[in-house]
């Protein structure tokens, strides 16, 4: 079974983290040359020490250009959206979260520093080590206490059930695909009453008919899958191009 070592040791690993942010690269246990006891490995911001058998995301090799492309091309052209409105909407939604345990799926280069209060316990995750390496630096510079980052896929999370108060997935759900599996995992790792906040392009808001990458689900489909996965679902009011903002709360 994947990640069982880390699942068993997850709490201990959190306690062992020191003053700097850590990037954990995970391997499948049965990978050649990967002892089971090293299924989880902390490399403290250094991605060279190991490799994963996860697919490398298309932006991994262009991590240094990622933020430029997002702000100059993806937001204004593809999504028909305003990046400042995006940050403001999420900042307002998250303004009440302080001292909480927060997991982000598809963290990328760490754009959440723009809208998440820095007094939270942040764990980032993504399949791209190149993007996460930039996120480590950004979260450190933003003053988050002991941020941690894991190179894992959002549909198979190495965290114990009931660990997090809040899960974020911003502009990533369409790339991850497998929405049912992601929501099953989010439901598992959230505490009762925990909240999942997402932002994702939806086809009915894509009025420009842009070629948006990944698998797009309509709001109705997302709402249905969320309810079937044990969440309440609410749209967060915001008109911003092709983007839907939503809040899904885990039922008690």
Ligand X SMILES: C[S@@+](CC[C@H](N)C(=O)[O-])C[C@H]1O[C@@H](n2cnc3c(N)ncnc32)[C@H](O)[C@@H]1O
Q: What angle in degrees, to the nearest 10, is found between the helix axes of 219-228 and 179-189?
A: 50
Least CB distance to ligand X at residue 18 (A): 26
CB of 167 to ligand X, least distance (A): 12
The closest residue (CB) to ligand X is: 108
Residues 170, 179, 202, 222: which binds ligand X (CB under 6 A)? Answer: 170
Using the minimum distance from each CB to ligand X, give the nearer residue, 39 or 127. Answer: 127
Q: Report in angstroms the alpha-carbon separations of 169 from 102, 112, 133, 191.
A: 11, 10, 18, 17
Q: Is 103 in the site for ligand X (CB under 6 A)?
A: no
Interaction of residue 136 with ligand X, rule CB under 6 A:
no
Of 47, 128, 163, 249, which lies in the binding site for ligand X, with binding defined by CB under 6 A? 128
CA distance 124 to 119: 15
Beta carbon of residue 199, minimum distance to ligand X (angstroms, whole number): 8
Closest separation in Å from C-beta 11 to ligand X: 22
Question: Which of 25, 22, 3, 10 has the alpha carbon at shortest distance from 129?
Answer: 25
Q: Does 226 bind ligand X (CB under 6 A)?
A: no
Among 24, 116, 120, 126, binds ligand X (CB under 6 A): 126
Of 155, 140, 134, nearest in space to 60 by CA: 134
Report if residue 124 touches ligand X, rule: CB under 6 A: no
- Output 100 or 134, the one with its CB closest to ligand X: 134
Decide: is 186 part of the binding site for ligand X (CB under 6 A): no
Q: Does 105 bind ligand X (CB under 6 A)?
A: yes
39-78 residues in contact with ligand X (CB under 6 A) are 57, 70
Q: Is 249 in the site for ligand X (CB under 6 A)?
A: no
Rg (CA), the chain: 17
**Based on CB atoms, which residue is closest to ligand X, 5 or 197?**
197
Q: Using CB under 6 A as the criterion, which residues of the chain lie in contact with ligand X when the complex forms?
A: 57, 70, 105-108, 111, 126-128, 131, 153-154, 170-172, 175-176
């Amino acid at each position: 079974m994947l990640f069982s070592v880390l699942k068993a040791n997850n709490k201990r690993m959190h306690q062992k983290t020191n003053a700097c942010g850590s990037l954990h690269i995970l391997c499948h246990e049965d990978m050649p040359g990967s002892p089971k006891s090293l299924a989880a490995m902390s490399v403290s911001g250094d991605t060279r020490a190991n490799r994963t058998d996860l697919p490398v995301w298309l932006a991994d090799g262009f991590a240094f250009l990622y933020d430029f492309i997002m702000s100059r091309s993806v937001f204004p052209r593809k999504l028909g959206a305003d990046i400042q409105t995006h940050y403001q909407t999420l900042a307002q939604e998250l303004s009440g979260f302080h001292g909480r345990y927060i997991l982000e799926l598809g963290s990328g280069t760490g754009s959440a520093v723009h809208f998440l209060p820095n007094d939270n316990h942040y764990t980032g995750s993504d399949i791209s080590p190149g993007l996460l390496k930039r996120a480590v630096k950004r979260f450190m510079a933003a003053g988050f206490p002991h941020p941690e980052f894991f190179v894992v896929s959002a549909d198979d999370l190495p965290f114990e059930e009931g660990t997090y108060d809040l899960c974020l997935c911003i502009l990533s759900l369409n790339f991850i695909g497998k929405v049912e599996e992601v929501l099953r995992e989010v439901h598992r790792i959230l505490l009762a009453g925990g909240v999942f906040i997402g932002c994702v392009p939806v086809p009915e808001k894509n009025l420009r008919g842009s070629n948006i990458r990944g698998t797009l689900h309509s709001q109705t489909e997302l709402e249905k899958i969320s309810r079937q996965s044990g969440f309440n679902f609410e749209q967060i009011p915001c008109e911003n191009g092709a983007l839907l903002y939503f809040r899904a709360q885990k039922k008690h």
